[in-house]
């Protein structure tokens, strides 16, 4: 069989919405040494395809990073499949907080240089020397002390719609930029407890190792990130110190943690935390848009994009010729501010 999809996206989405069973959205990661990422990828694809798993998985010599949806009736078989892999035996699976089962419609497994693009090229950096885990209860206890700094290791568009109370934003468009920025921002607070957090744990775990590498001593990271924290806080009836929505990298674009709306529509300023991609195929800018502005601008980010979106498809395709691919699906705050 082919080890990649050959069906159109439109057909795959149609099939997804015709399914009569439920799906569970899951994320997991593990830093581990994989000698032959391509062979590992191919074997994993065959196993997960047979189970009807959809999603996006990155494999590299440093480990695996996965965001997927699993048919509910195949969940146990899926877990058993993972647990048969030595370095994934017993792996924590982050179950989505707010899930409609429509997060993914196809299985994509890609081999990458790294499972998180970090920009680190220092050969002395050691990922095995990382910060201490904090579970939900320990996190709540530590953040209430005065000698603690909470650092959000997600991008600006994630922080904008939801974050922990008192968390510091590292204002950047990419994780690779954030690492040295975080070191510089906190250089005068090396005597404090530094807690790093992210969506599911993969970025803050690497960030904690980077901070230790930079000379910080008391570094912690939130076990399982926002997703695991929220699930455990609800199970244990703990106060939830995260406010707003947790941005996720799938078709949902967010999962509701609390009813707080801490951001606003980028077009009219009304309280809103709904992320959308501009409907103009030559733009696809990620931005926040309320229902009224979605109707007014036909789900576009600007009047210019709305005018383009209204053109016949052939004319739109002609206008897109020569447009830099880097502008597609752009999440940059700098670009958004120019719209």
Calpha distance 40→80 (Å, rounded): 17
What's the burial of 251, exposed, middle or buried (CB within 10 Å: 0-12/13-18/19+)? middle
Calpha distance 243→68 (Å, rounded): 25
What's the burial of 187, exposed, middle or buried (CB within 10 Å: 0-12/13-18/19+)? exposed
Q: Hey, CA dihedral for 318, 319, 322, 325, is it positive or negative?
A: negative
The DSSP secondary structure of 80-100, one letter per residue, reads HHHHTSGGGTT---EE-SS--
Tell me how far the alpha carbon of residue 322 is from its chain's centroid.
Answer: 30
Tell me how far the alpha carbon of residue 238 is from its chain's centroid.
Answer: 24
Q: Are 278 and 327 in contact (CB under 8 A)?
A: no
Task: Out of 198, 272, 278, 301, pick the active-site residue.
Answer: 198
What's the burial of 218, exposed, middle or buried (CB within 10 Å: 0-12/13-18/19+)? middle
Residue 198 designated active-site: yes
Calpha distance 105→118 (Å, rounded): 28
| Beta carbons within 10 angstroms of residue 120's beta carbon | 17
Phi and psi at residue 60, to the nearest 5° = -150, 175
**Which residues lie across from 286 on neighbouring strands?**
277
Q: Name the 3-class secondary structure at 107.
A: strand
Query: In Å, what is the CA distance from 151 to each residue of 90, 171, 197, 217, 308?
Result: 28, 11, 6, 15, 40
Write the CB contacts of 117 (distance below 8 Å, at least 6 apart in sequence): 174, 175, 176
- List, by residue number, the catalytic residues: 198
């Amino acid at each position: 069989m082919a080890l990649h999809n050959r069906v159109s996206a439109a057909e795959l989405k149609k099939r997804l919405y015709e399914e009569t069973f439920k799906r569970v959205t899951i994320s997991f990661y593990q830093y581990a040494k994989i000698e032959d990422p391509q062979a590992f990828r191919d074997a994993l694809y065959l196993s997960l395809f047979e189970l009807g798993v959809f999603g996006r998985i990155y494999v590299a010599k440093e480990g695996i990073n996965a965001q997927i949806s699993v048919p509910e009736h195949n969940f146990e078989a899926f877990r058993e499949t993972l647990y048969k892999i030595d370095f994934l035996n017993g792996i924590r699976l982050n179950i989505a907080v707010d899930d409609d089962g429509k997060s993914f419609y196809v299985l994509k497994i890609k081999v990458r240089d790294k499972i998180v693009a970090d920009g680190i090229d220092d050969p002395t950096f050691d990922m095995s020397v990382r910060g201490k885990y904090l579970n939900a209860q320990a996190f709540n206890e530590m953040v209430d002390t005065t000698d603690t700094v909470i650092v959000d290791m997600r991008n600006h568009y994630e922080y904008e719609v939801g974050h922990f109370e008192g968390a510091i934003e590292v204002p950047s468009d990419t994780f690779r930029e954030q690492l040295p920025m975080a070191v510089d921002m906190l250089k005068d607070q090396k005597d404090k407890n530094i807690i790093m957090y992210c969506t599911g744990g993969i970025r803050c775990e690497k960030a904690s190792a980077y901070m230790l590498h930079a000379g910080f001593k008391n570094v912690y990271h939130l076990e399982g990130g926002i997703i695991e924290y929220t699930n455990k806080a609800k199970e244990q009836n703990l106060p939830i110190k995260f406010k707003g929505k947790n941005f996720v990298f799938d078709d949902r674009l967010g999962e509701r943690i609390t009813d707080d709306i801490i951001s606003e529509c980028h077009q009219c300023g009304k309280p809103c935390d709904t992320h959308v991609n501009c409907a103009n195929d030559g733009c696809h800018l990620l931005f926040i848009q309320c229902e009224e502005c979605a109707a007014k601008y036909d789900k576009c980010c600007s009047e210019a994009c709305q005018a383009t979106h209204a053109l016949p498809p052939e004319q739109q395709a002609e206008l897109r010729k020569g447009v830099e691919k880097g502008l597609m699906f752009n999440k940059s705050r700098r670009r958004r501010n120019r719209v």
